[in-house]
Structure 1
Amino acid sequence: MPQPAFHYTINDSDAKRCSEMITGNLGGFLPGAEPKYLPPGSALHICGTYRAGDDKNGNLEEAKNESVVNRFGRVWGQKNLVLGGCGIIPTQNACNPTLTAAAFALAATDQIIADLDEHENYE
């Protein structure tokens, strides 16, 4: 499917103006830590590096071939290893994935608590 591609450049005066606007809104910066304009693509949120999947109605082997963790971030075949972050999101989002990653983290936390509640002897 065709997708639009946008190419643009920013001149030095616009970059300076961006920096001044950031400084004006956020306050002063330590020398050497001033805000810098980043070119498009330099601030990426990489998704899908340890993607979540489904066990396909009990077919664990197929799930292991297609994903790394279940929907709660638990690594397939491991009882005590839970991963979080943007890598769990199976594919790239059309927007910043932080809220989606947070939703996965909350679901994982709820599941961990539920798992602990099932056991009487935990610390």
Structure 2
Amino acid sequence: MARRPRLNLPDIPQHVVQRGNNRQVCFFMEQDYTVYLDKLKEYSRQYKVAVHAYVLMTNHVHLLMTPETASGISQLMQSLGRYYVRYVNSTHGRSGTLWEGRYNRHWWIVNIIFCWSVGILNLIPCVLG
């Protein structure tokens, strides 16, 4: 069965969550976080997506982003996911999928919620340890 197309709207903040497959670890060492962030920065520029906040946990990622184009976040996440999975598999001698399906995203239209979500994202590592 084909995937349903995503509703893509430019200039609307979105909270994107991507989890490790079966909630397993997707960042194995410090260098992995650096590689992920470097590529996030590169692809955010390439696809014109503003990254406002991020939280990288050992088994999942939270990103608060606003795309300039309708396809920006989809292109960014596809490129980032493909690159990072190849990097992890070759660096850590593993194979197969790393992520649990497609990323999830939530629309954040009201500025108050946008500001509140940045605060919540900053608290996630504290709450989860």
Q: TM-score, normalised by structure 2?
A: 0.29
Greater RCO, 1 or 2 (C-alpha within 8 Å, sep 6+)? 2
Q: TM-score, normalised by structure 1?
A: 0.30
Bigger radius of gyration, 1 or 2? Answer: 1
Q: Which structure features the higher share of helix residues? A: 2
Q: Which structure features the higher share of strand residues? A: 2
